Amino acid sequence: MKKITLIFLLCIYLFSAKSILAQDFPFDKYKTRTLSELVEIEREATKTTYEGKGLLIDAKPFYSAVRVKFIGTSRAISSEKKNLLKMWQGSLGYDAEILSLYENEYLFKECDKEYWIPVQKQVAAYFPKELKSGDMITIYLMVVGGVKLEKDWDFVFLINEFQKYQD
């Protein structure tokens, strides 16, 4: 009987740990926006006739709560995005440890547009436990800036938290 009680208590702890930890997350700091709205804000900042490669570091993080579809596919963050993150971290004086929090980016969909967005490792660890492909979620992200390699800009956001959409 003690063993069953202990297992039951352990299960309650594990299931409630994320919600307990999330209580410290500053959800009220994040304004409801869309990814397309954020891309348009960034696009305005990159209007130029310059044709070469480019980097944009955004000093304003535009903390945003965005509703998207979780696709479930991930990949390593590209070297170009990693370089941007390093420059962003150094330029704005963030702790260098922040770079170690992001290794992979995940695919999300808003309307008919797909976005690859880096996700904190500890946040992404909950994806396989709580989400399946096609789930609607709210992601809590910040704007970093963008990289231009060829013709188009690839704007970079960082996901700090998520909540599964409840019907």
Please indicate, yes or no, if residue 61 is contained in any of the structural domains. Answer: yes
pLDDT on residue 167: 61
pLDDT on residue 44: 84
pLDDT on residue 11: 39
Q: pTM (2 decimals)? A: 0.82
Tell me the three-class secondary structure of 52-90, residue by residue.
Answer: CCEEEECCCCCCEEEEEEEEEEEEECCHHHHHHHHHHHH
The token pair that represents 157 in the structure block: 């956001």
Domains identified in the chain, total number: 1
Note down pLDDT in tens along the chain; length 167 residues.
444 433 433 333 334 344 444 468 999 999 999 999 999 989 887 877 567 888 899 999 999 999 999 999 999 999 999 999 999 999 999 999 999 999 999 999 999 999 999 999 999 999 999 999 999 999 999 999 999 987 888 999 999 999 997 76
Please indicate, yes or no, if residue 21 is contained in any of the structural domains. Answer: no
* Alpha-carbon separation of residue 77 from 116, 130, 146, 157, 163 (angstroms): 9, 23, 13, 12, 23
pLDDT on residue 14: 39
112: domain CATH number? 2.40.50.140
Please indicate, yes or no, if residue 1 is contained in any of the structural domains. Answer: no
Please indicate, yes or no, if residue 13 is contained in any of the structural domains. Answer: no
Please indicate, yes or no, if residue 56 is contained in any of the structural domains. Answer: yes
pLDDT on residue 67: 97
pLDDT on residue 47: 79
- Domain extent for 133: 26-164
- Report the C-alpha gap between 141 and 118 in whole angstroms: 10
Please indicate, yes or no, if residue 102 is contained in any of the structural domains. Answer: yes
